């Protein structure tokens, strides 16, 4: 079971359409979704783009993922990170998908496993399960 604050946050955004550069309920992109998540739940402000978020986070192993950590992907031909989501539990993560808006996906789905670029943590260790 996800912690109550995270579940409430996800419920408030779930199904919101994707809009490149979007930052609100009329449309949001992946990095703004992650920004909103960390500000709302942990009071942590992130850079605006997924590549900057990846560059500045504390890298962790995939096997060390905890609820609230970030997962990064290379979804375009270039080598830069171009997509980010919030890890939930049991290999699931929430993100703003270009095709379906804010949704939950599985890291083991072939599309995401082939494009996984790494994982990172911004929040404080002692705030992992409020």
pLDDT in tens, 38-85: 999 999 999 999 999 999 999 999 999 999 999 999 999 888 999 999
Supply angle C-alpha 27, 55, 60, rounded to 5. Answer: 100
Superfamily classification of domain 4-123: endopeptidase domain like (from Nostoc punctiforme) (3.90.1720.10)
Q: Is 4 a residue of the active site?
A: no
- For residue 18, what is the DSSP state? B
pTM: 0.92
DSSP H helices in 1-130: 4-13, 30-42, 50-56, 110-115
Distance CA 63, CA 82 (A): 22
Q: Determine which one of 33, 38, 69, 95 is catalytic.
A: 95
Mind listing the pLDDT tens digit for each residue in 87-119?
999 999 999 999 999 999 999 999 999 999 999
Dist CA 19 CA 127 (whole Å): 30
For the question of residue 57 being annotated catalytic, the response is no
Question: Domain limits of the chain?
Answer: 4-123
- 30 is an active site residue: yes
Q: Residues 28, 49, 54, 83: which is the catalytic one?
A: 83
Cα separation, 118 vs 85, in Å, equals: 11
Q: Compute CA 86 distance to the chain's CA centroid, rounded to the nearest angstrom.
A: 3
Which listed residue (30, 38, 81, 94) is catalytic? 30
């Amino acid at each position: 079971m996800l912690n109550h604050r995270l579940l409430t946050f996800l419920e408030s955004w779930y199904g919101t359409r994707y809009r490149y550069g979007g930052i609100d309920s009329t449309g949001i992109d992946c990095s703004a979704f992650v920004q909103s998540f960390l500000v709302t739940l942990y009071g942590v402000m992130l850079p605006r783009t997924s590549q900057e978020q990846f560059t500045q986070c504390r890298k962790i192993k995939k096997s060390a993922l905890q609820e609230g950590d970030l997962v990064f992907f290379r979804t375009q031909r270039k080598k830069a990170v171009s997509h980010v989501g919030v890890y939930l539990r049991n290999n699931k993560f929430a993100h703003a998908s270009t095709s379906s808006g804010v949704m939950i996906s599985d890291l083991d789905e072939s599309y995401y496993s082939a494009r996984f670029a790494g994982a990172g943590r911004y929040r404080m260790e002692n705030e992992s399960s409020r």
